[in-house]
Amino acid sequence: MLREGFHNQIKELERDVLHMGQFVIEAVNRSVKALGELDAKQAKRVMDEDAQVNKQRWDLEDKCVDLIARQQPVASDLREIIAMLSIVRDLERIGDYAEGIGKIVLLHGDQPLVRPLIYLPEMTEKALSMLRRSLDAFVNRDAGQAQQICLEDDEVDRLYDQAYHDLLQHMIEDPSLITRATYLIWAAHNIERIADRATNIAESVVYLVTGTPTELNVSRY
Amino acid sequence: MESDPKIETIDLNLYYGSFRALTDVNIRIPGRSVTAIIGPSGCGKSTLLRCFNRMNDLIEHADVRGRIMIEGRNILDRDMDVVALRRKIGMVFQRPNVFSLSIYNNLKFGLRIHRMMAKKADIMSAIQDGLEHVGLWDDLKDRLDANAQSLTLEQQQRLCIARVLILRPDIILLDEPCSALDPVSTLRIEELLRVLCAEYTLVIVTHNMQQAARCSDYTALMYLGQLIEFGQTHQIFMNPKEKLTEDYIRGSFG
């Protein structure tokens, strides 16, 4: 292939992006597990590891910009690099949401959860499934799958709604729970935002494949 | 940057008669990498390149001052064996300069001049190795008797590179090696340079800034005989330190 070196660099970047995706998926899972068990040690680990996520973001952005400056990419090569620039920023932000849930664990101190997690595990599963499949769609250049994923955001929004009203009910019944119930709303909100970021990634895939920037689903939150 | 350069110039100055073509050039070129020298026409980039294998000796009134250290030796020393130097430091020119001889004899020529091999089997093996390195062996193995000038320009330039390679050089100097080639051939030659830099130190002079960006690890900007800036190509094209570099690569002058 002509310009094999350049295309290998793009492929390598693509692998790095997927690796970063895997890294943040694990971070989110561990943060939610740490919240369920109020495991401060695990929470601190997630928070510490966010620095690695940030570093991956800067490194990958730098490589993308280097390819733009030095290799004069055009057409689908250019779109892929632009899509990757956007995807790594979304992934980095998802890493921040995991870190945020870690902080919420620490905010609890010695106090228990107001109630066991009810909606959060399911929300997390759905949001991370969207994220995983949006990254699959990126690898497979599957705009159809990407569009499908965006529709699922409504389901995560619905679960967030339920969690919110459920926790609000707790606060009304016992105002002494307001602070800790609010923590859980924050955590749920973080997961809800992860699904929005997965939608952004799916939109980047549609742009990469079709060349048309498209807003596929506007989150209710 | 690497602490142990392959080529190092120390206060290098070159005069053509009273014209000072190079002024106090101090550059440290790392080994096993591609270094590009860029700059506007007449800035001294080819002059600098030709210093590295003493090609300027051939120009009357050229006076070279300073030192050029290669592997701990100042190659400007009077007792330097220039023929041996030019075998260790090969050169490829703007237009492919194949001889009107067979492909085989073009390659054998250098070996003979340098009395490197006598046995036919050794010569053949070196020729095959050279052609394989430049990606020509499969195309040309059945017609080594054909006149080299019947090849396409890109093939001729590859042959010139092979002719340098079979002399087992350390350093290869390329003076605008793609300026006679079409864009696709140019990209293919650049790919070849990226492969070769795993084994050799390559220094390329190019008037094509994009080519320097694409295929080099380090870039030097020359202007009016001076080395303005030298650094990793990534740094030069992303965030040059000198305003002159910034202006040149952004196309504000030159």
Q: What is the pLDDT of residues A106-158, one digit of tens each?
A: 999 999 999 999 999 999 999 999 999 999 999 999 999 999 999 999 999 99
Distance CA B1, CA A92 (A): 31
Backbone angles phi, psi at B100, to 5 degrees: -75, 65
Chain B nearest-CA residue for A5: B191
Look at residue B3 in the predicted model and tell me its pLDDT: 67
3-class SS of residue B153: helix
Contact A39, A105 (CB under 8 A): yes
Whether the pLDDT of residue A58 is over 60: the answer is: yes
pLDDT of residue B2: 52
pLDDT of A68 higher than 80: yes
3-state secondary structure chain A: CCCHHHHHHHHHHHHHHHHHHHHHHHHHHHHHHHHHHCCHHHHHHHHHHHHHHHHHHHHHHHHHHHHHHHHCCCHHHHHHHHHHHHHHHHHHHHHHHHHHHHHHHHHCCCCCCCCCCCCHHHHHHHHHHHHHHHHHHHHHCCHHHHHHHHHCHHHHHHHHHHHHHHHHHHHHHCHHHHHHHHHHHHHHHHHHHHHHHHHHHHHHHHHHHHCCCCCCCCCCC
Determine the Cα–Cα distance for residues B218 and B216; give it in Å rounded to an integer. 6
- Token readout for A160 is 């967030």
Q: Is the dihedral of CA B155, B156, B161, B167 positive or negative?
A: positive
- Inter-residue contact A21 to A180 (CB < 8 Å): no
Determine if residue B175 is left, alpha or beta; phi over 0 gives left, psi from -120 to 50 gives alpha, anything else beta. Answer: beta
pLDDT of residue A115: 93
Lowest pLDDT segment from A132-136, A164-168, A197-201, B2-6: B2-6
B35 contacts B219 by C-beta, under 8 angstroms: yes
> Please, what is the Cα angle at B170 between B127 and B108, to 5 degrees?
25
Q: Which of B188, B210, B213 sits opposite A2 (nearest CB)?
A: B188
Chain B CB contacts of A69 under 8 Å are 213, 237-238
pLDDT at A217 over 80: no
Identify the pLDDT of residue B1.
Answer: 55
How many independent structural domains does chain B possess?
1
Question: Using the 8-state DSSP alphabet, how is residue B147 labeled?
Answer: B
Asked whether residue B90 is domain-assigned, the answer is: yes
| Interface ipTM | 0.83
Domain A4-210: CATH superfamily is Phosphate transport system protein phou homolog 2; domain 2 (1.20.58.220)
Q: Chain A: nearest CA to B211, how far in angstroms?
A: 8
User: Chain B: nearest CA to A95, how far in angstroms?
Assistant: 28
Q: From chain B, pick out residues whose CB is under 8 angstroms from the CB of A65.
A: 238
**Are residues B194 and A5, on separate chains, in Cβ contact within 8 Å?**
yes
Query: Contacts of residue A67 in chain B, CB cutoff 8 Å?
Result: none
Q: Which helix (H) or strand (E) holds B213?
A: helix B209-215
What distance in Å separates residue B33's CA from the closest CA in chain A? Answer: 15
Tokens of B209: 């800034």
* The B201-205 sheet, strands edge to edge: B89-92, B171-175, B201-205, B34-38, B218-223, B226-232
**B-chain residues within 8 Å CB-CB of A70?**
213-214, 233-234, 237
Rounded Cα distance, B120 and B128, in Å: 12
Q: For residue A69, what pLDDT is reported?
A: 95
Longest Cα–Cα distance of chain A, Å, equals 69
Q: What does the pLDDT average to over A69-88?
A: 96
> In whole angstroms, how far apart are CA B59 and each of A91, B14, B44, B179?
60, 12, 15, 23
Residues A167, A9: Cα–Cα separation, whole Å: 48
CA distance B100 to B105: 9
Q: Copy the structure tokens of residue B183.
A: 């864009």
Which domain does B30 fall in, by range? 7-99+170-249
| Chain B residues within 8 Å of chain A (Cβ atoms) | 184, 187-188, 191, 194, 210, 213-214, 233-234, 237-238
Of the candidates A190, A212, A181, the residue with the CA atom closest to the CA atom of residue A128: A190
| Res B110: pLDDT | 86
Below-70 pLDDT ranges, chain B: 1-3, 254
Contacts of B191 in chain A (CB under 8 A): 2-5
Token pair for A178: 């307001």
Task: Give me the pLDDT at residue A46, please.
Answer: 98
Check CB contact under 8 Å for B234 and A70: yes
**CB distance A85 to A14 below 8 Å:** no
Q: Among residues B54, B92, B47, B91, which one has the least CA distance to residue B73?
A: B54
Residue owning tokens 């330039």: B157
- Give pLDDT, residue B116: 81
Question: Each residue of B74-96: pLDDT tens digit?
Answer: 999 999 999 999 999 999 999 99
* CA atoms of A164 and A167, how far apart (whole Å): 5
* Beta pairing class for B62-70 and B73-74: antiparallel
Q: The domain that contains B75 carries what CATH number?
A: 3.40.50.300
Nearest to A117 by CA among A178, A193, A176, A180: A180
Would you say residue B152 lies in a domain? no
